[in-house]
């Protein structure tokens, strides 16, 4: 089980701030993206492609990284 937390535009797109997904041991960021696109539609994958993922203490865009029990999905943030 993986707790996935969503922020900003991704939270708006999926309609929630967090959910728990049943993913197999050894699942990767790519597996998470595939599951989310299957659940919320292929347009979400375009957004997920530009996101960073906080996996444990590592902020990454590497889709081969194995998931930890909690993953944060972080879209690009605009600042000024």
Number of domains in the chain: 1
Is residue 28, in this structure, part of any structural domain at all? yes
CATH number, domain containing residue 31 = 3.10.20.30
Any idea which residue has 């081969």 for tokens?
Answer: 64
Is residue 80, in this structure, part of any structural domain at all? no
DSSP 54: E
pLDDT band at residue 78 using 50, 70 and 90 as cut-offs? low
pTM: 0.92
> Using one digit for the tens of pLDDT, what is the confidence trace for 19-69?
999 999 999 999 999 999 999 998 899 999 999 999 999 999 999 999 999
pLDDT band at residue 76 using 50, 70 and 90 as cut-offs? confident
| pLDDT over 90 (residue 71) | yes
> Rounded distance, CA 2 to CA 21, Å?
5
């Amino acid at each position: 089980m993986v707790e996935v937390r969503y922020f900003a535009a991704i939270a708006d797109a999926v309609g929630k701030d967090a959910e728990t997904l049943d993913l197999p041991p050894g699942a990767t960021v790519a597996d998470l993206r595939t599951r989310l696109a299957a659940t919320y539609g292929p347009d979400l994958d375009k957004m997920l492609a530009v996101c960073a993922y906080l996996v444990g203490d590592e902020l990454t865009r590497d889709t081969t990284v194995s998931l930890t029990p909690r993953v944060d999905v972080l879209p690009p943030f605009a600042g000024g």
